[in-house]
Structure 1
Amino acid sequence: MGLRLILMRHAKSSWDDPLSDDFDRVLNARGQSNAAAMGIWLRDKAYLPDEVLVSAAARTRETYEWLSNGMGLCANVEVKDTLYLASDRRIMSHLKQAEGNTVLLIAHNPGVGEFAARFANRAPRHKDFARYPTCATTVFDVAAPTWSEIAFGVNPVVDFVVPRDLDA
Structure 2
Amino acid sequence: MKTLTLLRHAKSSWDDPVSRDFDRPLNAKGRRAAAMIGRHLKSLDFQFDHILASPAVRVMETLDEVWNGYGRRLEPVWDKAMYLASGASLLDLVHALPENADHVLMVGHNPGLEDLTLDLTLDGELRERVEDKYPTATIAQMTLPIARWAEAQSNSATLIAFIRPRDLDPTLGPDTP
Q: Name the SS for the 1:129 alignment partner.
A: helix
Instruction: Provide the C-alpha distance between the structure 2 equivalents of 1:146 and 1:126, rounded to a whole number of angstroms.
Output: 24
Q: Which moved more, 1:95-104 or 1:118-127?
A: 118-127
Please say if residues 123 and 129 of structure 1, whose CA atoms lie closer than 8 Å, have aligned partners that are also in contact: no
Task: Report the secondary structure of 2:31's partner residue.
Answer: helix
Q: Look up the SS of the partner of 2:122 in the other structure.
A: coil
Percent of aligned pairs with the same amino acid: 34
- Structure 1 stretches of 4+ with a deviation exceeding 4 A read none
Higher helix share: 2
How far did 1:118 drift? 1.0
What TM-score does the superposition give when structure 1 sets the normalisation length? 0.92
Aligned to 2:166: 164
The amino acid across from 2:62 in the alignment is T
CA shift in 2, pair 1:112/1:126, >3 Å: closer
Deviation at 1:93, TM superposition (A): 1.0
Aligned residues: 167
Show the counterpart of 2:120. 119
User: Aligned partners of 1:156, 1:127: CA distance in 2, in Å?
Assistant: 13
Q: What is the distance in 2 between the residues matched to 1:140 and 1:125?
A: 11
- 8 A contact 2:11–2:30 mirrored in 1: yes
Is the 2:18–2:24 Cα contact (8 Å) retained in structure 1? no
Conserved? CA contact 1:124–1:160, under 8 Å: no
| Amino acid of the structure 2 residue aligned with 1:110 | P
Letter in 2 for 1:84: Y
The answer as to whether partners of 2:118 and 2:127 remain within 8 angstroms in 1 is no
Q: Which runs of 5+ in 2 are unaligned?
A: 171-177
Separation in structure 1 between the aligned mates of residue 125 and residue 7 of structure 2, nearest angstrom = 15
Q: Structure 1 residues 110 and 165, CA, compared in 2 at 3 Å: closer, same or farther?
A: same
**Match for residue 134 of structure 1 among 114, 133, 136:** 136
Residue 98 of structure 1 aligns with which residue?
97
Measured in 2, the distance between the counterparts of 1:92 and 1:26 equals: 26
* Partner in structure 2 of residue 17 of structure 1: 16
Query: Which protein is bigger by CA-based radius of gyration?
Result: 2
Deviations 1:97-128 (A, max 9, x none): 21221110011111111111111112434774
Alignment of 1:43-82 (within 5 A): 43-82=42-81
The offset of 1:19, in angstroms, is: 4.4
Aligned partners of 1:135 and 1:162 also within 8 Å: yes
Residues 76-114 of structure 1: per-residue CA shift (max 9 Å, x gap) = 410111110000111111111212211100111111111
Aligned-CA RMSD value: 1.6
